[in-house]
Amino acid sequence: MKRIAVLLAFMFISADSAAFFGPDCDSASDCMTKAENLSNQNRLADAIDFYREACDEYRNKNGCYQAGIHYQFGLGKRNKAKNYYVKACRYGYVPACHLKEI
């Protein structure tokens, strides 16, 4: 019985490891594709994780901008949105430069 409980616990942790350990992307475009798919499913909190990884790990200016948009309009977190607009501007996404003063 103990072995079954351990096996079930391991299966549960493995199935949800992406949510626990963070997103898993191989490249900026991989992160962006996963984020867009989640955003289209209206899973904004999950999508933001992938946009953030595209921005923070791969310095993807569109990932930064999309993280800002999702924070501002999806989750209502203006301070976090502002931080990602600043990064998007720094990485060369000019439209974000006008939004960093929100």
- Residue 16 confidence class, pLDDT cut points 50, 70, 90: very low
Tens-place pLDDT, residues 44-63: 999 999 999 999 999 999 99
Tens-place pLDDT, residues 68-79: 999 998 877 888
Whether pTM > 0.85 for this model: the answer is no
Provide the residue count of the chain: 102
Q: Which CATH architecture has domain 23-97?
A: Alpha Horseshoe (1.25)
What's the CA gap between 62 and 3, in Å, rounded? 47
Domain residue ranges in the chain: 23-97
What's the mean pLDDT when you consider all of the chain?
A: 82
What's the CA gap between 65 and 35, in Å, rounded? 12
